[in-house]
Chain A
Amino acid sequence: MTEETPTQDVFDIESEEASSGGFSVFFKGLYAQFLGFFRWPNLRRGLIQVGWAIMSIILAVFATSLIMLATGYDPFIAFRTLAFGAASQADLIFWYGTPLIFTGLSVALAFQAGLFNIGAEGQLYMGSMAATIVGFMILLPPVIHPFLALLIGFLVGGLWALIPGLLKAYRGAHEVVTTMMMTFIAVLLTQWLSAGPLQEPGQVQPQAQTPLIFLTAEIAKMFGSSFLNWGFVIGILTVIGVWILLRNTVLGYEMRAVGKNETAAQAAGINPKKMIVISLFISGCLAGLAGAVEILGYYHRFRDGWSAGIGFDGITVAVLGANNPIGVLLGAIFFGFLRAGAIPMQTLGGVPAEMVDVIQGLVVLFVAAPKLVQWLARKGIGWAKWIVEEPIRTVPIFLGSIFALIGGISSLAIGANMVGALVQAGLIGDIFTLILTDPFIAMYVGIATLAVIIGVISLLAFYGLMTTQKLSSIALLPAAIIWIIIGYVTMVLLGGTMLIPLSVFGVLGIIFSIWSFILLYRQGVTFVEVKTDAN
């Protein structure tokens, strides 16, 4: 079967070859795909996507830092405990990431077909319940048992998404609403099952959980971890499977064609209705598999409300991974990292674990606006124009301005805190006489004033760097040095905890101010007219 490709850039030669049929052609296509992956245009496209995802994460971390500063938490301690906490229990990262791989793939695959499966959570619940039923009701030999349970979970999840798929294809019911409704129904149904007919004998009414599955049905743990199981490997295999399905099969090609342009696909002889049903079915299957793997690998029984939003996090993972299977894998591991670090951040850093949810939401918001920089460039913002033209050289200036902003706000906050302490002690009334008589107070007031002044200068440097004014990089350098001094002196005087964040911001500020100084003076910034694509 040969089609006229409706759009050129996404459908490359390899997929067309693959869709021309034949078994050897399929493998030839797969091999060409593999080679093509390392070809420069493809690699460049991938790198740009990864770059944008990383940029969104940085922006989200930055915005979260501001929220933390505003709510009285120390962003540096928060992110340090988050990162070290997650790194010290690496198996948790992959364990949290495992179900997100499946739900992320589920949402991503539906997105590729132009559908938004917001109800992965419900399909996951149904899949996990089905796998549990196979796990504790049927006796089978070890290898066959989990395999059958996974298969049943996979299919039941798919069937749960099949209803919205049919309604979408043949009745025009919007899948966002119907899959959401199916999720509510699934949650209520599984709750009823686990509290009623399938409740573990001897449990009192409110405890809604089924009996444990048989040992033969369990998926073994990996590397002696008490969390991480071979489900992670199944996840990676699924990533490869979805990749092949989307890129190297006729079905995947037709799904993507419908997602790109339904009318053009129809003109090329593809049945869009059929593709909608099949895409949502496979999407549901993947979400069901997520539930089955989690039950067989870790929970070993269905307990009401066990998932707590894994299906919804799949949306975020898919968005972060740009609906690309490998991107989804990386996104899932990143989210696993956040989740693994959330608890240490709370217990060691004293920052509520919910901060992680804020980061997640912000990441999606930033990913949602890939034209942000272009738009700012069109609005005449200097750095944005420059980033569009010369991304590599402008990043140091951009980062420098970010550090100027954070350092500026921090030192303003310190100044405000110190003045606030004076007001609270009732010393503000006769402050001038006190300065003259008490050297400690004089020093104290001096530092507070310095902190405020440096804060203002840093904010000006931030603005200056954003508009690429040469002077601002010079202004940032002394400001950064004084941040460190202020951090040190306040620690000695007041025992504050701002030393470490301020010195880190200070050192980075020094590096970036010198770097951007060199860049700004050597190159003689002249903005080229930015090409704006209207599409």
Chain B
Amino acid sequence: MQIDPATLILFGWILNSTLQVGTPLVLAGLGGMFSERSGIVNIALEGIMLMGAFAAVAVTYFTDNPWIGVLGAVISGLLLAAIHAIVCVKLKGNHIVSGTGILLFAAGFTTLMLFVIWGTRGTSPGVTALPEIYLPGIGFLSPLIFITFALIPICWFVLYRTPFGLRLRAAGEDPSTLDTAGISVERYRIYGVLLSGMFAAVGGAQMSIGFGSWFGKGMTSGAGFIALAAMIFGNWNPIGILIAGLFFGFTTGLNYALQIAPGFEWLIGVGNFIQMIPYVAVILALGIIRRSVPPKAIAIPYIKEKEI
């Protein structure tokens, strides 16, 4: 059987963009998983990703080392997540409202700093990207993709096979039992939110210095929400999130590939509908295929009976 080389190249291209676009979704989805498993809704993922993307570029711009940039992204993500943790866990504020505040703050702050640092309104100048790794047939891939794949079994193990994971899950499922066992619910919820901040920020770094080398205003454009959807689609489970995130990446990759592939010119007119596929898929998946079962104590602040 003879395979047309053009088809093979197209296939490699789709696979490449699936991995490149899907990885941030997987990373942010994993972050959302840690947060929601501990009982805190983290709608700020989008904002944390944006901040991570920005911090990665800004730190790389000043240090000229993209790995320090990734570190900067992690720190920025931790800071934003810490705000969310204080508001939600310590002050028992509304998770959604706090997340929205962080979202808006991150959008405004990154745009502002874009102007302050580089004096531009749209995009930053190019910086050194992460060193890419070549895979035959697929092409150049960001190292964060391999890290993500390595993280999936680690996350699974931590969540299901360690005391830490058990306590984290207990904080989200049945906090009063965890409290009765003498373990601080608040502490594990804070751990969950901080982890989510780290993961989402690295996802943002993948978007800015992973498959690109610059930061653009509002460049995440809803990736955080798609990551949340991937998390629900993946049933709050690392392996499910990997599959869901890559599926959403695949639809985007398909769209890119079809627009440049010969013989698909007629698809440009309906490119918008191809772009809709992931969104429609989420709605179908959530609404029609099966009911999602979130952690039981999600979005409920845990308050001890006596607190002085």
Binding site for B on A (CB under 8 A): 67, 71-72, 116, 118, 163, 167, 171-174, 176-178, 180-182, 184-185, 188-189, 191-192, 196, 312, 315-316, 319, 352, 354-365, 367-372, 375, 378, 532, 534-535
Tell me whether A178 and B287 are in contact in the complex, defined as CB-CB below 8 angstroms, given that A184-B222, A192-B273, A369-B87 are known contacts: yes
Q: Which among B98, B225, B280, B287 is the interface contact of A365 at CB below 8 angstroms?
A: B98
Contact string against A for B residues 97-139, beta-carbon threshold 8 Å, 1 for contact and 0 otherwise = 1101111111111011101100000000000000000000000
Q: Do the beta carbons of A368 and B98 come within 8 Å of each other?
A: yes
- Cα-based distance from A368 to B83 in the complex (angstroms): 11
Q: A185-B280, A368-B93, A369-B87 are in contact. Are A173 and B286 (CB under 8 A)?
A: yes
Interface string of B270-308 (1 = CB under 8 A from A): 101101100110110011100110100000000111111
Q: How far is the CB of B69 from chain A (nearest CB, A)?
A: 20
With a cutoff of 8 Å between Cβ atoms, the chain B residues found around residue A118 in the complex are: 43, 100
B282 touches A181 (CB 8 A): yes
Is B104 touching A357 in the complex (CB atoms < 8 A)?
Answer: yes
The CA-CA distance from A449 to B97 in the complex, in Å, is 45
Q: B97 → chain A, closest Cβ, in Å?
A: 4
Closest CB in chain A relative to B269 CB, distance in Å:
7
Which residues 63-95 in B have Cβ within 8 Å of A in the complex? 83, 87, 90-94
Could you list some 15 contacts between A and B, CB below 8 A? A167-B283, A167-B286, A172-B292, A174-B292, A181-B229, A181-B280, A181-B283, A188-B273, A189-B276, A357-B108, A357-B111, A365-B102, A368-B98, A378-B308, A535-B303
Number of A-B contacts (CB under 8 A): 151
How far does the alpha carbon of A94 sit from the alpha carbon of B285 in the complex, in Å? 42
Contacts A188-B275, A196-B269, A375-B91 known; list 7 others, CB within 8 Å.
A173-B283, A357-B104, A361-B104, A365-B105, A368-B87, A371-B92, A534-B307
Interface SS, B side? helix
List, in ascending order, chain A residues with CB within 8 A of B232's CB.
174, 177
Are B307 and A358 in touch, CB under 8 angstroms?
A: no
6 closest Cβ pairs, A-B complex: A357-B108, A361-B105, A364-B101, A361-B104, A173-B286, A365-B101
Nearest A residue to B117 via CB reads A71
Kindly list chain A residues whose C-beta atoms are within 8 Å of the C-beta of B207: none
**For A176, what are the chain B residues with a Cβ–Cβ distance below 8 Å?**
43, 96, 228
Check if A361 sits within 8 Å of B272, measured CB to CB: no
Chain B residue at minimum C-beta to C-beta distance from A173: B286
Q: B163 → chain A, closest Cβ, in Å? A: 29
Partner of B104, one of A163, A181, A316, A371: A316
Cβ distance A313 to chain B, nearest Cβ, rounded Å:
8
The docked-state distance in angstroms from the alpha carbon of A492 to that of B115 is 31
- Chain A residue at smallest Cβ distance from B290: A171
Neighbouring A residues of B104 by C-beta, 8 Å: 312, 316, 357, 360-361, 364
Question: A361 touches which one: B106, B269, B306 (CB < 8 A)?
Answer: B106
Q: Which residues of A contact B112 (CB under 8 A)?
A: 67, 71, 352, 354-355, 357-358
Distance, CA A248 to CA B307, complexed state (A): 38
Complex contact A362–B101 (CB within 8 A): yes
In the assembled complex, the Cα of A361 lies from the Cα of B50 at a distance in Å of 14
Q: When the two chains form their complex, are residues B282 and A177 in contact, meaning their CB atoms are under 8 A apart?
A: yes
Whether the Cβ atoms of A368 and B97 lie closer than 8 Å is: yes
Are the C-beta atoms of A185 and B279 separated by less than 8 Å? yes
A175 to chain B, nearest CB (A): 10
Contact check, A362 vs B93: say whether CB atoms are below 8 A apart: no
Q: How far is the CB of B219 from chain A (nearest CB, A)?
A: 15
**Bound Cα distance from A163 to B279, whole angstroms:** 13
Among A163, A312, A319, A361, chain B packs the most CB atoms within 10 A around the CB of A361
Which of B273, B276, B291 lies in contact with A172, CB distance below 8 A?
A: B291
CB-CB nearest in chain B for A181? B279
Interface residue from B93, B109, B273, B307 paired with A532 (Cβ < 8 Å): B307
